[in-house]
Structure 1
Amino acid sequence: MTIVLIGYMASGKTSVGKILAQKLNYKFIDLDDFIEEKEHATVKDIFKNKGEIYFRKVETQYLNELLALSNDNIVLSLGGGAPCFGNNMNEVLDSSTATSVYLKGSVPFLSNKLIKKKIKRPLIAHIETVEQMTEFVGKHLFERIPFYSKAEKHVLIDNKSKPEIAEAIIAQLF
């Protein structure tokens, strides 16, 4: 089984995914890390040197490659934009061995987490206040919710620890 974690920036896809994989004795794969390994370049450098269209193309290619690993038990963390491009979300939903889980956070919760981590994220590095972050996240999340909400399972993350979120996922899956 492949458990595919989707959600907005700072929803905990990678950190919760690692905990979840450990608890289930599954392999953990972060799609962005997998892309960097295969492409021998960081996601940031791929965007800069080859463009977003190229990145989205290889993102889809590697996502499909990982979804095809039907005999492996994997927790797969997708980048926040991955479900929203091409046919990626439908590929996840159509996979007979994958189950999708949306780590769902409210706009205020995500905004408060992101304002503290904005330096590490080029998309939001320019945002200066919590109010500006809330406005940005609200608009951006609004565009992405139609994709995220297609996930088979939804787990609320507001004010929960990462281990609590992992346990909530397990409770929904098994």
Structure 2
Amino acid sequence: MIFLIGFMGSGKTTVAQQLSEKLALPLLEMDEEIERQEGTSIKDIFSRKGEGYFRQKETELLQSIKADSVVSTGGGVVEREDNREALHMGKVIYLQASWETIDSRLSNDTTRPLWKGNEQDKKEKFQGRLALYERAADLVVNVDDKSPEVITDEIIRRLNG
């Protein structure tokens, strides 16, 4: 089991897809699975039921994973201690991106409910999660200025090394 963690925009979904293909493992994109289960978008879940409800769904999904797979987690999955513990049923890989990389990648994104508001609030959320990502990770891979292919190959090399 491989879990990719990192802030929104760090490339978890894209890298998970590539890892899934190269390692011939099933792919689970947690946000997409929650949307499927709830029959609505993450944005709608946040606006109608709140972040707490979404985080609970995230925890339930994480704890239900049994099959060996590549899992792209939501950016806030590390905020709950239960989730950080559950992640350790596999290898936890932190896709580490600088604030500049995240801000550049998400500058025009309107689909992420937590990527709205003022710059300072977003930056505080980013900085507040950094230590959680680092503590949860078995492997840290910096993604700044790297293509998804290079990141994927680095992860495979380091997992096999």
Say yes or no: TM over 0.5. Answer: yes
* Maintained 8 Å contact 1:84/1:144: yes
In structure 2, the partner of 1:92 is 87
> Which residue identity is paired with 1:58?
K
Are 1:157 and 2:148 counterparts?
no
- 48-57 or 27-36, larger mean C-alpha shift: 48-57
In structure 2, the partner of 1:35 is 34
Q: How does 1:73-84 map to 2 (within 5 A)?
A: 73-84=68-79
Give CA-to-partner distance per residue, 1:86-140, whole Å, 9 cap, x none.
42112212x2xx110000011122222221x33233333455xxxx4xx455322
* Maintained 8 Å contact 2:46/2:113: no
Give CA-to-partner distance per residue, 1:61-104, whole Å, 9 cap, x none.
111001xx1xx3311000101111242112212x2xx1100000
How many Å separate the matches in 1 of 2:14 and 2:126?
A: 20
Provide the aligned C-alpha RMSD in A.
Answer: 1.6
Are 1:109 and 2:101 counterparts?
yes
In structure 2, the partner of 1:52 is 51
Runs of 5+ consecutive residues of structure 2 not aligned to the other structure: none
* Greater C-alpha radius of gyration: 1
How many Å separate the matches in 1 of 2:14 and 2:40?
A: 22
How many Å separate the matches in 1 of 2:117 and 2:32?
A: 24
Q: CA deviation at 1:53?
A: 1.8
In structure 1, the partner of 2:128 is 143
* Maintained 8 Å contact 1:4/1:77: yes
How many Å separate the matches in 2 of 1:41 and 1:110?
A: 26
Runs of 5+ consecutive residues of structure 1 not aligned to the other structure: none
How many Å separate the matches in 2 of 1:36 and 1:122?
A: 14
How many Å separate the matches in 2 of 1:56 and 1:38?
A: 14
In structure 2, relative to structure 1, the CA distance for the partners of 1:120 and 1:57 (3 Å cut) is closer
In structure 2, the partner of 1:167 is 153
In structure 2, relative to structure 1, the CA distance for the partners of 1:164 and 1:137 (3 Å cut) is farther
Are 1:122 and 2:76 counterparts?
no
Percent identical among aligned pairs is: 34
Q: CA deviation at 1:141?
A: 1.8
Aligned length, in residue pairs? 159
* Maintained 8 Å contact 1:111/1:137: no
How many Å separate the matches in 2 of 1:39 and 1:137?
A: 26
